[in-house]
Every structure is written in structure tokens, then in C-alpha cells.
Amino acid sequence: MHELSLATHLVELAGQTASRERAQRVLTVKLRVGLLADVSVEALQFAYEVATADTLLAGSRLEVEEVPVTVFCEQCQTEAVLPSIQNFRCPECNMPTENVLSGRELEIAWIELE
């Protein structure tokens, strides 16, 4: 039920923003989710509908942008996007790497209010 607590948290955050901006309701929440954040987008969409019922977010849309995993390779001195999160190796030189630059995101990108 990790997704439900995340959805509840989103409702709180977006609700706070809406009341601060004196908005009537929230239309869209755009979320950035890294592939390493361990979130099931499908489960989150379902949980979001449950969590937003009878709130300022009722009927709003949850847009999820999945952020790929990028690493920095010491060998190549360059950034690379991992083709698979099962394999933490530089796609160029195949050196193992643990320098994760992105892919752990779990943040609201923007909120559309009315």
C-alpha cells in the first residue's frame, strides 16, 4: 500500500498549494517518478482516484512522467542512460557504475489549478 500513502501525500501537498493560491480545485497534478523510485504507476493511478474523492482534487488528472536512470561513468567521464535497471553498467564501456545521477525522483513537477 505504498502507492496509497503516496497518493494521500500528493492530495495533502496539492491541497495546500490550492488553498494558498485560493484555487477552487485542482485540475492536474504532474508527478516525476524515477524508474528507481519503486512506484507502480498503475497502482498509483488507482490509489489517486481513491485518495482524491471528496477533496479539492476530486476528478483531477494525475500525469506521471517517468524519469530514466542516468549514471556517470568514471571510465568514459560521461553521462549515460541505463537501458535496463537490472544492469548497472555503462552502456558504452560496460564498466559497473554506481554513480546514479537521476532515476530516484519522486516529486511534483507542477500543479494545474482552477
Which residues form the interface with Zn ion (CB under 5 A)? 73, 75-76, 90, 92-93
9 annotated as a binding-site residue: no
Where does residue 111 rank: exposed (0-12), middle (13-18), buried (19+ CB within 10 A)? buried
Nearer to Zn ion, 92 or 107 (CB): 92
Cell of 23: 484555487
Nearer to Zn ion, 56 or 73 (CB): 73
Nearer to Zn ion, 59 or 68 (CB): 68
Which of 102, 1, 10 is CA-nearest to residue 64?
10
In this structure, the number of other CB atoms found within 10 A of the CB of residue 110 comes to 12
Give the nearest distance from C-beta 89 to Zn ion in angstroms: 8
Binding residues for Zn(2+) are 73, 76, 90, 93
Binding residues for Ni(2+): 2
